[in-house]
Every structure is written in structure tokens, then in C-alpha cells.
Amino acid sequence: MTCDLVTDPPLDCPVCPRLVDFRTGLQREHPDWFNAPVPTFQGDNPRLLVIGLAPGMRGANRTGRPFTGDYAGDLLYETLIEFNFAKGQYQARPDDGLMLTGAMITNAVRCLPPENKPTGAEIKACRPYLMATLDANPQVRAVLALGRIAHDTFLTALNLRKALFPFAHGSRHDLGTRNLLMFDSYHCSRYNTNTGRLTSEMFKSVFTSIRTDLPEA
């Protein structure tokens, strides 16, 4: 699909000074890492948009592909493959040949934030890229928000009231616009799985719900 919308920021995006400082420091420290805003990963004709929080330091920030190279990716890609939203073998590298099938993955904030905590201003600054990604893919019917920040920033991007669509793991929201459904999950981070906040079964049950609304073609 060709599109005039800028869906991915430039690799030297200067908008968020704190994140630029962090990025340039890591570029000096780890010149072999990606260390730049991480572009969306997508397959053909995506109907599912997965939104994470931000790149992980040794995951997407290192490899340049969302959720690739750290624990969160292990659980996400294993589950995407199981539910036929991806095919191939996930080997934690961008050149592993894994392909998304009817899905795309992006982050609410494209640059790595210190301690995985973006500020409100940084979330706001990066929101136009999330909106442009959605605008460029009007065929998307379901959004999976991984965590409250992804959930909230997506609602804000669509000018929807958060009070009408409260975040809760396993929730399904009919957004009443653009023919979109939103599904909520706790983020598939190592912290959440180690603490038992999110189990593999809980994560899979969200995908079972998504597949009810997005049956395989």
C-alpha cells in the first residue's frame, strides 16, 4: 500500500530531548545496537494492531524490530504464531524470517525511555506516529493494547473518553468508531510474568477472544 502519511519517525527524530540524550549515550556505548526510534513491524493486510509501550533496552532498541530480543518478545511471538498471526520461527533476531500474517506491531513511544518510563510529554509527542499508522491501515479491525499506557494513548489519539473504556486485562471494547474493537492485556513483560500478574494462559485467552472477532480467513 502506498501512503503519504509518515508512519515511522526518522531515525534521528529530535523531538524528545531526554530520549535523544539517552539514545546518543547508548549509541556511544553500544555502537552495534539499533539505538533509534523503532519502526512498526507489519505483515500484509493487517487486521490486528498490537501496541506496546516502548522499545526494551536489550530488545527492540538493540535489534530494531518491536519486541525482538527480550523476554516480552518470546511470549508475544510464541502466542502470535500459535494463533496464526505470525508464521515461521521466532529466533529473537530481525533476520529470523518470521512474518506477521494479518497483524502489525508498534509501540506507543518509539524511542527507548530510561527505566521503561516515558513521560506524559513524550507519549504525547509520539502519538502522531501511532495515529498515522492507524490512518495508513484502515483495514485494521482490532487493537491489542499491551498495558494501560498503550490503552490510554490510543483512546486519546482517537479523541475517545477514557472513562467510557476503562483498562482491564481481558476486556473487549467496541470503540464505536472506525469499526474498531480494542482488547486489553497486561503487558507481556518479564516483570509481569515473573510476578504472576500475567500468565501465558491469561495472555492466550486474550488472543482466543481476538480470534472470535477476527476468524482466520
Contact 100, 42 (CB under 8 A): yes
Q: Kindly write down the DSSP assignment for every residue of 81-117, as one continuous string.
A: HHTTSEES---SSTTS--EEEEEEEEESS-SPPGGG-
DSSP state of 190: H
To the nearest 10 degrees (0 to 180), the angle between helices 71-82 and 200-213 is: 40
Our CB check for ligand SF4 shows the closer of 26 and 142 to be 26
Among 48, 57, 100, 111, binds ligand SF4 (CB under 6 A): 111
| Torsion of the alpha carbons at 140, 121, 184 and 48, rounded to the nearest 10 | 20
Instruction: Mark the segment that binds ligand SF4 (CB under 6 A) among 106-114, 153-161, 180-188, 202-210.
Output: 106-114
Cβ at position 161, least distance to ligand SF4 in Å: 24
Report if residue 144 touches ligand SF4, rule: CB under 6 A. no
Coil/strand/helix, residue 36: coil
Binds ligand SF4 by CB under 6 A, chosen from 62, 110, 151, 173:
110
112 binds ligand SF4 (CB under 6 A): no
Hey, what amino acid is at 110? R
Q: Cell digits for 196?
A: 504472576
Stretch that binds ligand SF4, among 62-70, 103-111, 168-176, 206-214 (CB under 6 A): 103-111
Least separation, in Å, of the C-beta of 130 and ligand SF4?
A: 9
**61 phi and psi angles, rounded to 5 deg:** -65, -30
Distances (CA, A) of 190 to 11, 136, 150, 161: 27, 31, 17, 30
Give Cα 41 to chain centroid, integer Å.
Answer: 9
Query: Does 109 sit near ligand SF4 (CB under 6 A)?
Result: yes
Nearest approach in angstroms of CB 54 to ligand SF4 is 8
The 1-40 site mask, x for binding ligand SF4 (CB under 6 A), equals --------x---x-xx--x-----------------x---
Decide: is 126 part of the binding site for ligand SF4 (CB under 6 A): yes
Shortest separation between residue 181's beta carbon and ligand SF4, angstroms: 26
- 183 Cβ contact list (under 8 Å, min separation 6): 142, 143, 144, 145, 171, 172, 173, 206, 209, 210
User: Could you say whether residue 169 binds ligand SF4 (CB under 6 A)?
Assistant: no
CB of 17 to ligand SF4, least distance (A): 8
Euclidean distance between CA atoms 181 and 178, whole angstroms: 9
User: Does residue 122 bind ligand SF4 (CB under 6 A)?
Assistant: yes
Which residues lie near ligand SF4 (CB under 6 A)? 9, 13, 15-16, 19, 37, 109-111, 122, 125-126
